[in-house]
Amino acid sequence: MEKKVGAEQIKDGKIRFRVWSPFAEAVQVLLKDQNQLLDLQKDEVGYWETETDKAAPGSLYRIRLDEEDTFPDPASRSQPEGVHSWSQIPISEFNWTDDSWKGRELSEMLIYELHVGTFTSKGSFEAIIEKLDHLEELGINTIELMPIAQFPGSRNWGYDGVYPYAVQDSYGGINGLKTLIDTCHKRGFAVLLDVVYNHLGPEGNYLSQFGPYFTDKYHTPWGSAVNFDDEYSDHVRSFFIQSALMWLEEFHFDGLRLDAVHEIIDRGAKHFLKELSLEVDSLEQKTGKRYILIAESDLNDNRLVTSYKKGGYGLEGQWVDDFHHAVHTVLTGENAGYYKDFGKMEFLAKSFEQGFIYDGIYSVFRKKKVGNSPKGIPSEKFVTCIQNHDQVGNRLLGERLAELVSFEELKLAAGLLLFSPYVPMLFMGEEFGETSRFQYFVSHGDPELVKAVQKGRKREFEYFFHTKGSFPDPQSSETFESSKLNWEFEKEDPKKHIFEFYKEMIRLRKEGNFKAFLEGERKVDFSEENNWLQVTSEDNNGKLKALYNFGKSTIPLKESENDKIELIISSSNKNWGGQEEVNSRSSSVPASSFVIYKIY
């Protein structure tokens, strides 16, 4: 029987320690303050536990295996001295004030992805609270935090986390995170968390010392795969499922973004993702709150968001990278790496129609057929973007879109995202055209690992974008500092115009008049030769059209003389920093711009 692991205070005030280590002959807890060892007792499936009054919330401890080496607790809730040092029993007292908050449906979300360490100069949970006024003015209603599980050092993207239950101490720890979420809920923001269950980072990863948490049956880009279907996998699965439930129940997160689920390899009858989804459903019944699970996958597999009854995993949503790639390549002309599979107006149109471009068709880059059909899947199950941490930070130099395209093209891309039928996600700073690069950074303590990361990044990405400039050193603090947002955007007219434009587009998207785009039947036309895309949608309120001009010449609006046209927004208008005096009688779309209008 799987059990909850870690150290926690139980009803009688005692502390219960529980560790899964099926092959150990002896397991003890070493209490730092008392320099005392506590013996744990083993059950029939390898869980070791004890209850004691010799420890208390805040106590520091380590786990001793077979009367030899000591290690941090794999299920540690806090690592105040770093990934190699003492674990800390959490101090659980927190006065939540969000009892009335019940969550938000994915279809209602406008998501804002941010990295805690670079979103503000302070790089903390507390500092995010100071920017909620900005996000509220923008119109955002959901924040997505990049991973915050404890990682080595004080700066990291978060994907090198090694304690799936612990909050990064340098960000503000347990209470800092709870205060952020409680404040967000009081102000109407949902909060999502990016979690990594497909691998752990290399430094401070002691899971293998405790048991078969990994398997050599499969290999991933990070080495041996997490053991989701080999011998003893029941308890490994439980370890990660309990982590997910902890973030939702104890920290009040509204949902999880599941990193690279195509590397969660499970050939069992009930896939780990389905089991996780079912457990979250049970938690909803228990708490009366709505929770959202969103998968990142490069497989374009509709099973992720298909219902249980139809053989799916029942997740609420998934990222659709095809949309990003289609927009990016049409705008930039880049065709290296996986971008060689895109770059056509035909593909951009297809993504507007159904999300997946690769729905079983042949991929030149992968040299095989990719994906399956998304037909019948509601558009609200797809999360799309024109920038995110991967697509910016995994460039050789970390350039944002604002550095790669013109001012007008930047607004054109934003219009594609915010008037698409999918759930939009912005990447921090996008809303004001941030040009500071977001680069990959780490703060590893192992010199050999640092060298390996430096060499690996060069080898992995220099083929992809042949750009001029020195390669940013991931270990350098300067790389981290230069990736922080510049919050003085209002002093620069282009950035100020972009911000006002985003505000207006988000406001329009929320209006009932735009339900045709979001919920109605869409007709998508395009011209490969003249580089335009037209989206038409109709409901009981009338017909809406969006015309996106990627070309270098003005194109006319070709409507019947008997049609009454109401121009709703034009990206080239002087209101948004453009060069055009656009009014309701305008009948053309300038180069690198879009218009949305209503036909009566």
> Known catalytic residues?
259, 296
- With beta carbons less than 8 A apart as the criterion, state whether 484 and 417 touch: no
Q: Which residues contact 354 (CB under 8 A, 6 or more apart)?
A: 374, 375
Q: How far apart are CA 472 and CA 457, in angstroms?
A: 10
Q: How far apart are CA 36 and CA 20, in angstroms?
A: 21
3-state secondary structure 537-585: EEECCEEEEEEEECCCCCEECCCCCCCCEEEEEECCEHHHCCCECCCCC
The angle that helices 321-332 and 407-418 make with each other, rounded to 10 degrees, is 160
Transcribe 472-524 into DSSP letters: P-TT-HHHHHTTS----GGGSHHHHHHHHHHHHHHHHHHSGGGHHHHHSEEEE
Q: Is 416 helix (H, G, I), strand (E, B) or coil?
A: helix
Q: Which residues contact 410 (CB under 8 A, 6 or more apart)?
A: 401, 402, 433, 498
- With beta carbons less than 8 A apart as the criterion, state whether 37 and 26 touch: no
In the chain, the amino acid numbered 451 is: K
3-state secondary structure 209-265: HHCCCEEEEEEECCEEEECCCCCCHHHHHHHHHHHHHHHHHCCCCCEEEECCHHHCC
- Counted residue by residue, the chain has a size of 600
Burial grade of 100 (CB within 10 A; 0-12, 13-18, 19 or more): exposed
* Other CB atoms within 10 Å distance of the CB of residue 493: 9
The beta strand positions in 375-441, using DSSP E, are 382-384, 423-427
- With beta carbons less than 8 A apart as the criterion, state whether 145 and 55 touch: no
Of 228, 288, 236, which Cα lies nearest the Cα of 262? 228
Q: How far apart are CA 515 and CA 509, in angstroms?
A: 8
Query: Dihedral sign, CA of 507, 330, 321, 391?
Result: negative
Per DSSP, what are the bridge partners of residue 293?
A: 256
Q: Which residues contact 187 (CB under 8 A, 6 or more apart)?
A: 132, 136
Residue 110, CA distances (Å) to 77, 189, 317, 319, 507 in order: 30, 10, 13, 14, 11
Q: How far apart are CA 530 and CA 65, in angstroms?
A: 68
